[in-house]
Amino acid sequence: MKRLFILLIVGCVIATISCTKEVSTKEMSTNVLTNAAQSMQAMSQDNATAGDPAWGIWPHDNTTNECMNEANAVGVKYLRTTIHVKRFNGKESKLDQYISKGYKVLVNLNWDGGGDVPFPKDMNAYKNALSNVLDKYASKIEVAVIENEPTTDKFYNGPIEDYITELKNAVDVCKQHGVKVADGGIHVENVLLVKAGKTNANKNAPEVAKLINAYQNIDLDYVNIHTAAVAGQNSYPSSDISDCADYIRNRTGHPVMSNEWHSESNTASTIDDMVKGWRAGDFKYSLYTSGHDAYLYRNGSLTDKGRTFKNAIQ
Protein backbone atom coordinates (compact mmCIF):
# COMPACT_ATOMS: atom_id res chain seq x y z
CA MET A 1 0.00 0.00 0.00
CA LYS A 2 2.78 2.40 0.93
CA ARG A 3 4.55 1.60 -2.32
CA LEU A 4 1.33 2.19 -4.27
CA PHE A 5 0.91 5.57 -2.56
CA ILE A 6 4.47 6.59 -3.50
CA LEU A 7 3.91 5.53 -7.10
CA LEU A 8 0.71 7.57 -7.18
CA ILE A 9 2.56 10.69 -5.93
CA VAL A 10 5.35 10.19 -8.50
CA GLY A 11 2.75 9.83 -11.25
CA CYS A 12 1.08 13.07 -10.22
CA VAL A 13 4.41 14.93 -10.22
CA ILE A 14 5.27 13.63 -13.70
CA ALA A 15 1.84 14.59 -14.98
CA THR A 16 2.20 18.08 -13.49
CA ILE A 17 5.62 18.55 -15.08
CA SER A 18 4.26 17.34 -18.41
CA CYS A 19 1.30 19.74 -18.22
CA THR A 20 3.59 22.64 -17.26
CA LYS A 21 5.91 21.85 -20.14
CA GLU A 22 2.95 21.69 -22.53
CA VAL A 23 1.64 25.04 -21.32
CA SER A 24 5.11 26.55 -21.63
CA THR A 25 5.42 25.18 -25.15
CA LYS A 26 2.01 26.55 -26.07
CA GLU A 27 2.88 29.94 -24.56
CA MET A 28 6.16 29.97 -26.44
CA SER A 29 4.40 29.09 -29.68
CA THR A 30 1.79 31.76 -29.03
CA ASN A 31 4.47 34.35 -28.29
CA VAL A 32 6.40 33.45 -31.44
CA LEU A 33 3.25 33.70 -33.55
CA THR A 34 2.28 36.98 -31.89
CA ASN A 35 5.72 38.47 -32.44
CA ALA A 36 5.73 37.30 -36.04
CA ALA A 37 2.29 38.80 -36.60
CA GLN A 38 3.40 42.08 -35.06
CA SER A 39 6.49 42.11 -37.26
CA MET A 40 4.41 41.42 -40.36
CA GLN A 41 1.99 44.17 -39.36
CA ALA A 42 4.86 46.62 -38.87
CA MET A 43 6.30 45.66 -42.26
CA SER A 44 2.89 46.12 -43.83
CA GLN A 45 2.53 49.56 -42.25
CA ASP A 46 6.00 50.55 -43.45
CA ASN A 47 5.13 49.46 -46.97
CA ALA A 48 1.84 51.31 -46.76
CA THR A 49 3.50 54.59 -45.84
CA ALA A 50 6.45 54.25 -48.21
CA GLY A 51 6.07 55.25 -51.82
CA ASP A 52 6.57 57.87 -54.48
CA PRO A 53 6.23 61.57 -53.93
CA ALA A 54 3.01 63.20 -55.05
CA TRP A 55 4.19 64.00 -58.58
CA GLY A 56 3.13 67.20 -60.27
CA ILE A 57 4.14 70.05 -62.53
CA TRP A 58 4.35 73.82 -62.60
CA PRO A 59 3.22 74.50 -66.18
CA HIS A 60 4.21 77.74 -67.92
CA ASP A 61 1.73 77.65 -70.80
CA ASN A 62 -0.19 80.83 -71.49
CA THR A 63 -3.72 79.74 -70.63
CA THR A 64 -5.16 77.77 -67.74
CA ASN A 65 -6.73 75.25 -70.11
CA GLU A 66 -3.35 74.60 -71.73
CA CYS A 67 -1.83 74.10 -68.28
CA MET A 68 -4.48 71.51 -67.44
CA ASN A 69 -4.04 69.83 -70.82
CA GLU A 70 -0.36 69.47 -70.00
CA ALA A 71 -1.10 67.95 -66.60
CA ASN A 72 -3.47 65.47 -68.25
CA ALA A 73 -0.89 64.54 -70.88
CA VAL A 74 1.78 63.94 -68.23
CA GLY A 75 -0.70 62.13 -65.99
CA VAL A 76 -0.40 64.17 -62.78
CA LYS A 77 -2.94 65.76 -60.44
CA TYR A 78 -0.71 68.22 -58.54
CA LEU A 79 -0.14 71.72 -59.89
CA ARG A 80 1.53 74.91 -58.73
CA THR A 81 0.33 78.48 -59.01
CA THR A 82 0.95 81.82 -57.29
CA ILE A 83 -1.05 84.43 -55.38
CA HIS A 84 0.46 87.87 -54.75
CA VAL A 85 -0.75 88.55 -51.23
CA LYS A 86 -0.27 92.32 -51.38
CA ARG A 87 -2.34 92.57 -54.57
CA PHE A 88 -5.06 90.03 -53.74
CA ASN A 89 -8.49 91.32 -54.74
CA GLY A 90 -10.61 88.47 -53.41
CA LYS A 91 -10.29 86.01 -56.29
CA GLU A 92 -7.65 83.92 -58.07
CA SER A 93 -9.20 82.52 -61.25
CA LYS A 94 -6.46 80.01 -62.12
CA LEU A 95 -6.68 78.41 -58.67
CA ASP A 96 -10.47 78.31 -58.92
CA GLN A 97 -10.31 76.56 -62.29
CA TYR A 98 -7.73 74.03 -61.12
CA ILE A 99 -9.82 73.15 -58.08
CA SER A 100 -13.02 72.88 -60.12
CA LYS A 101 -11.34 70.22 -62.27
CA GLY A 102 -10.14 68.18 -59.30
CA TYR A 103 -6.47 69.17 -59.17
CA LYS A 104 -4.50 69.53 -55.92
CA VAL A 105 -2.71 72.87 -55.87
CA LEU A 106 0.48 73.97 -54.14
CA VAL A 107 0.25 77.75 -53.94
CA ASN A 108 3.13 80.18 -53.65
CA LEU A 109 1.99 83.02 -51.40
CA ASN A 110 4.33 85.80 -52.47
CA TRP A 111 4.01 89.21 -50.85
CA ASP A 112 4.69 91.07 -54.09
CA GLY A 113 5.88 90.42 -57.63
CA GLY A 114 8.14 91.91 -60.25
CA GLY A 115 11.56 90.80 -59.00
CA ASP A 116 14.15 92.31 -56.66
CA VAL A 117 11.48 93.29 -54.13
CA PRO A 118 11.91 93.65 -50.37
CA PHE A 119 10.41 91.26 -47.87
CA PRO A 120 7.43 92.77 -46.01
CA LYS A 121 8.31 94.84 -42.96
CA ASP A 122 4.94 95.57 -41.33
CA MET A 123 3.93 92.22 -39.89
CA ASN A 124 0.46 93.37 -38.81
CA ALA A 125 -0.33 94.45 -42.36
CA TYR A 126 1.23 91.27 -43.69
CA LYS A 127 -0.73 88.94 -41.41
CA ASN A 128 -4.00 90.75 -42.17
CA ALA A 129 -3.42 90.49 -45.92
CA LEU A 130 -2.43 86.82 -45.68
CA SER A 131 -5.50 86.10 -43.55
CA ASN A 132 -7.68 87.64 -46.26
CA VAL A 133 -6.25 85.19 -48.78
CA LEU A 134 -6.67 82.19 -46.49
CA ASP A 135 -10.18 83.18 -45.41
CA LYS A 136 -11.08 82.59 -49.05
CA TYR A 137 -8.78 79.75 -50.08
CA ALA A 138 -7.56 77.83 -47.01
CA SER A 139 -9.59 74.72 -47.84
CA LYS A 140 -8.36 74.76 -51.45
CA ILE A 141 -4.62 74.99 -50.84
CA GLU A 142 -2.69 71.71 -50.67
CA VAL A 143 0.47 73.41 -49.36
CA ALA A 144 1.12 77.12 -48.85
CA VAL A 145 4.66 77.99 -49.98
CA ILE A 146 5.87 81.28 -48.51
CA GLU A 147 7.69 83.27 -51.20
CA ASN A 148 9.81 81.74 -53.96
CA GLU A 149 13.52 81.13 -53.37
CA PRO A 150 14.22 83.85 -50.80
CA THR A 151 17.99 83.51 -51.33
CA THR A 152 17.79 84.18 -55.09
CA ASP A 153 19.09 87.73 -55.55
CA LYS A 154 17.08 88.60 -58.66
CA PHE A 155 13.83 87.93 -56.78
CA TYR A 156 14.42 89.70 -53.44
CA ASN A 157 16.51 92.30 -51.70
CA GLY A 158 17.06 92.90 -48.01
CA PRO A 159 18.52 90.75 -45.21
CA ILE A 160 17.50 87.11 -44.93
CA GLU A 161 16.47 87.84 -41.35
CA ASP A 162 13.50 89.77 -42.79
CA TYR A 163 12.39 86.63 -44.58
CA ILE A 164 12.74 84.56 -41.42
CA THR A 165 10.46 87.03 -39.63
CA GLU A 166 7.96 86.86 -42.48
CA LEU A 167 8.04 83.07 -42.48
CA LYS A 168 7.41 82.80 -38.74
CA ASN A 169 4.38 85.05 -39.03
CA ALA A 170 3.13 83.26 -42.13
CA VAL A 171 3.34 79.89 -40.37
CA ASP A 172 1.26 81.25 -37.48
CA VAL A 173 -1.46 82.48 -39.85
CA CYS A 174 -1.43 79.25 -41.89
CA LYS A 175 -1.74 77.11 -38.77
CA GLN A 176 -4.70 79.19 -37.59
CA HIS A 177 -6.39 78.42 -40.91
CA GLY A 178 -5.45 74.73 -40.92
CA VAL A 179 -3.17 75.03 -43.96
CA LYS A 180 0.04 73.03 -44.44
CA VAL A 181 3.01 75.33 -44.99
CA ALA A 182 6.53 75.24 -46.45
CA ASP A 183 9.33 77.72 -46.96
CA GLY A 184 10.07 79.23 -50.38
CA GLY A 185 12.85 76.83 -51.29
CA ILE A 186 16.59 76.32 -50.79
CA HIS A 187 18.80 74.71 -53.41
CA VAL A 188 20.33 71.24 -53.18
CA GLU A 189 23.70 72.61 -54.22
CA ASN A 190 23.81 75.20 -51.42
CA VAL A 191 22.54 72.77 -48.80
CA LEU A 192 25.38 70.38 -49.64
CA LEU A 193 27.88 73.24 -49.30
CA VAL A 194 26.49 73.99 -45.85
CA LYS A 195 26.63 70.31 -44.96
CA ALA A 196 30.32 70.23 -45.97
CA GLY A 197 31.05 73.32 -43.86
CA LYS A 198 31.68 75.47 -46.96
CA THR A 199 29.31 78.25 -45.95
CA ASN A 200 31.41 80.92 -47.68
CA ALA A 201 31.63 79.12 -51.01
CA ASN A 202 29.23 81.61 -52.62
CA LYS A 203 27.18 84.61 -51.52
CA ASN A 204 23.99 82.63 -50.95
CA ALA A 205 25.37 79.71 -48.90
CA PRO A 206 25.58 81.80 -45.67
CA GLU A 207 21.90 82.70 -46.09
CA VAL A 208 20.98 79.05 -46.58
CA ALA A 209 22.90 78.17 -43.39
CA LYS A 210 20.89 80.80 -41.48
CA LEU A 211 17.63 79.46 -42.87
CA ILE A 212 18.43 75.87 -41.94
CA ASN A 213 19.23 76.97 -38.38
CA ALA A 214 16.01 78.99 -38.19
CA TYR A 215 13.85 76.15 -39.54
CA GLN A 216 14.64 74.09 -36.45
CA ASN A 217 12.43 76.44 -34.44
CA ILE A 218 9.70 77.13 -37.00
CA ASP A 219 6.66 74.84 -37.19
CA LEU A 220 6.99 74.05 -40.89
CA ASP A 221 5.17 71.07 -42.37
CA TYR A 222 7.88 70.74 -45.03
CA VAL A 223 11.23 72.16 -45.98
CA ASN A 224 11.17 72.98 -49.69
CA ILE A 225 14.14 71.87 -51.83
CA HIS A 226 14.90 73.16 -55.33
CA THR A 227 17.61 72.27 -57.84
CA ALA A 228 19.69 74.69 -59.85
CA ALA A 229 19.24 74.69 -63.62
CA VAL A 230 20.71 71.52 -65.11
CA ALA A 231 22.08 72.43 -68.53
CA GLY A 232 24.41 70.31 -70.63
CA GLN A 233 24.68 67.53 -68.04
CA ASN A 234 24.35 63.90 -69.07
CA SER A 235 23.55 62.83 -65.51
CA TYR A 236 22.55 64.18 -62.13
CA PRO A 237 23.73 62.29 -59.04
CA SER A 238 20.55 61.06 -57.37
CA SER A 239 22.59 60.75 -54.17
CA ASP A 240 22.95 64.56 -54.09
CA ILE A 241 19.19 64.89 -53.72
CA SER A 242 18.81 62.11 -51.15
CA ASP A 243 21.86 63.30 -49.14
CA CYS A 244 20.39 66.80 -49.08
CA ALA A 245 17.05 65.43 -47.86
CA ASP A 246 18.65 63.37 -45.09
CA TYR A 247 20.68 66.33 -43.91
CA ILE A 248 17.66 68.66 -43.82
CA ARG A 249 15.52 66.15 -41.93
CA ASN A 250 18.26 65.52 -39.39
CA ARG A 251 18.95 69.22 -38.86
CA THR A 252 15.39 70.57 -38.82
CA GLY A 253 13.18 67.62 -37.91
CA HIS A 254 10.86 68.41 -40.85
CA PRO A 255 9.84 66.32 -43.88
CA VAL A 256 10.97 67.53 -47.30
CA MET A 257 9.24 68.41 -50.56
CA SER A 258 10.07 70.13 -53.84
CA ASN A 259 7.73 72.39 -55.75
CA GLU A 260 10.36 73.26 -58.37
CA TRP A 261 12.95 71.30 -60.30
CA HIS A 262 13.76 70.97 -63.98
CA SER A 263 16.34 69.89 -66.51
CA GLU A 264 17.53 71.73 -69.60
CA SER A 265 19.62 68.71 -70.55
CA ASN A 266 18.56 66.86 -73.69
CA THR A 267 19.70 63.59 -72.17
CA ALA A 268 16.89 61.42 -70.81
CA SER A 269 19.15 59.95 -68.12
CA THR A 270 19.33 63.32 -66.34
CA ILE A 271 15.59 63.32 -65.65
CA ASP A 272 15.72 59.63 -64.74
CA ASP A 273 18.51 60.32 -62.23
CA MET A 274 16.63 63.20 -60.65
CA VAL A 275 13.40 61.20 -60.34
CA LYS A 276 15.39 58.50 -58.54
CA GLY A 277 16.71 61.16 -56.18
CA TRP A 278 13.23 62.43 -55.22
CA ARG A 279 12.18 58.85 -54.55
CA ALA A 280 15.28 57.91 -52.56
CA GLY A 281 15.04 61.14 -50.56
CA ASP A 282 11.49 60.38 -49.40
CA PHE A 283 10.13 63.67 -50.74
CA LYS A 284 6.42 64.15 -50.09
CA TYR A 285 5.82 66.27 -53.22
CA SER A 286 7.89 66.66 -56.37
CA LEU A 287 6.80 69.16 -59.03
CA TYR A 288 8.65 69.56 -62.32
CA THR A 289 8.85 73.12 -63.68
CA SER A 290 7.80 73.01 -67.31
CA GLY A 291 8.98 76.13 -69.11
CA HIS A 292 11.84 78.04 -70.71
CA ASP A 293 14.24 75.37 -72.03
CA ALA A 294 12.62 72.56 -70.06
CA TYR A 295 9.11 72.23 -71.47
CA LEU A 296 7.32 68.92 -71.03
CA TYR A 297 4.49 69.83 -73.41
CA ARG A 298 4.31 72.04 -76.47
CA ASN A 299 1.73 72.61 -79.22
CA GLY A 300 -0.67 70.01 -77.90
CA SER A 301 1.71 67.11 -77.32
CA LEU A 302 4.44 65.91 -75.00
CA THR A 303 8.04 66.82 -75.79
CA ASP A 304 10.85 64.28 -75.50
CA LYS A 305 11.37 65.53 -71.93
CA GLY A 306 7.66 65.12 -71.27
CA ARG A 307 7.67 61.52 -72.41
CA THR A 308 10.80 60.80 -70.37
CA PHE A 309 9.30 62.35 -67.23
CA LYS A 310 5.97 60.59 -67.69
CA ASN A 311 7.67 57.21 -68.10
CA ALA A 312 10.02 57.83 -65.16
CA ILE A 313 7.25 58.53 -62.65
CA GLN A 314 5.01 55.62 -63.65
Q: How do residues 135-156 score in pLDDT, each as one tens digit?
A: 999 999 999 999 999 999 999 9
Same domain, 120 and 208: yes
DSSP 38-54: HHHHHHHHHHHH----E
Same domain, 63 and 132: yes
Task: Residue 172: give the domain boundaries.
Answer: 53-313
Question: What pLDDT does 106 receive?
Answer: 99
Question: What pLDDT does 51 receive?
Answer: 80
Same domain, 88 and 12: no
Same domain, 10 and 79: no
d(CA 114, CA 156): 10
Answer whether residue 36 shows pLDDT above 90: no
Same domain, 45 and 69: no
Question: What pLDDT does 232 receive?
Answer: 81
SS3 state at 232: coil
Answer whether residue 32 shows pLDDT above 60: no
Residue 158 DSSP symbol: S
| Crossing angle between the packed helical segments 188-195 and 205-215, to the nearest 10 degrees | 80
Same domain, 111 and 245: yes
Question: What pLDDT does 186 receive?
Answer: 98
Confidence of residue 70 (pLDDT cuts 50, 70, 90): very high
- Of 9, 33, 50, the one marking the end of a domain is 50
Same domain, 188 and 142: yes
Same domain, 60 and 182: yes
Confidence of residue 9 (pLDDT cuts 50, 70, 90): very low
Question: What pLDDT does 231 receive?
Answer: 79
Closest CA to 228 of 198, 193, 186: 186
Strands (E), 54-185: 54-59, 78-84, 104-110, 117-118, 143-146, 156-157, 181-182
**Mean pLDDT of the region 6-32:** 38
Same domain, 5 and 110: no
Confidence of residue 101 (pLDDT cuts 50, 70, 90): very high
d(CA 264, CA 66): 21
Residue 85 DSSP symbol: G
- Of 33, 50, 67, the one marking the end of a domain is 50
**Mean pLDDT of the region 91-118:** 97
Same domain, 64 and 180: yes
| CATH number for the domain that contains residue 165 | 3.20.20.80
d(CA 168, CA 170): 5
Same domain, 93 and 161: yes
Entry pTM: 0.84
**Mean pLDDT of the region 205-219:** 98
How many structural domains is the chain composed of? Answer: 2
Same domain, 274 and 129: yes
